Homo-oligomer: A and B are copies of this chain.
């Protein structure tokens, strides 16, 4: 009766999803794990009474596994997602869907071959209550048709491995998916502008201003700052013809002391989007357990994000506007 889930990749995000499925989600059992670090997988498995598989493909093939969560290194996503499709099992894949647009096309082809959607990609902002409220206001029509959006995506800091491209592929990719969903329109052109770099940024070109043009002519600008030190700060305001809607201030309390009134800024993405991850995974598990194909972001969205990210990386490197060209969207994703 319960959905038996196998988790590939037991690093930080994988263990967090396991915790989530074992505490705030009903009807799900984590029965199997796998990780390139076999000892880690064994330890995690022991802690939750699950089976540790020597590799992800065996986990996917296991008859005791109904559905798969892929949290391994991005370079391995294609292989595991294709294996899950081949096995006819629902698969939740953390972003990115794959590391090239060609890989994404192969996944879409496999899914088309299967004949129905099996893949969901981990763009959790679509499940955030504030973004949903933003979209609800927009869709209600009270602010008129959308014209522009301003976003800011600020991280206190980033891991040591960050290279310039990661500011696009790991950070901006959330806004890339978000605006496609928010406005129901594809991104057709991207620009990246470089202000002076922060002394907190080391060698990184940080901050950046990413400008996205959509097919419906909505124009989006995104401030990307990954070393702001002060916290994790996500902003968004949509300009419509007759009004605007913006993300509220998420402060739970206001403190007045020592001449100041204020409150804490979220420390990191867990703090800000923890509840969105909960809803995301719950929603996916419900679809995987039989309520039908996932209605979250799918392979097409993963593909579009990959193409736009590649264009933005080129725009960052060249300083020039770059046009985005997508294949025709397969019927499966209508």
Q: Given A195-B217, A211-B193, A230-B243, do A260 and B263 touch, yes or no (CB 8 Å)?
A: yes
Least Cβ–Cβ distance between A162 and chain B, in angstroms: 17
CB distance from A7 to the nearest CB of B (A): 15
Q: Is the CB of A217 within 8 A of B196?
A: yes
Kindly specify which of A53-61, A68-76, A218-226 makes contact with the partner chain. A218-226
Query: Would you call A253 and B243 a contact (CB within 8 A)?
Result: no
Q: How far is the CA of A83 from the CA of B49 in the complex (A)?
A: 35
**A241 CB contact (under 8 Å) in B199, B217, B241, B262:** B199
Task: Find chain B residues with CB under 8 A from A219 CB.
Answer: 193-196, 209
Cβ of A184 within 8 Å of any chain B Cβ, yes or no, is: no
The contact string, 1 if C-beta is below 8 Å from chain B, for chain A 225-245, is 100111101000101011111
> 11 A-B residue contacts at CB 8 Å?
A23-B282, A144-B200, A148-B195, A148-B225, A150-B223, A194-B219, A196-B218, A230-B243, A230-B258, A260-B263, A260-B265
- Partner-B contacts on A (CB < 8 A): 21-28, 129-130, 133-134, 137, 142-145, 147-148, 150, 152, 193-200, 207, 209, 211, 213, 216-219, 221, 223, 225, 228-231, 233, 237, 239, 241-249, 251-265, 267, 275, 278, 282
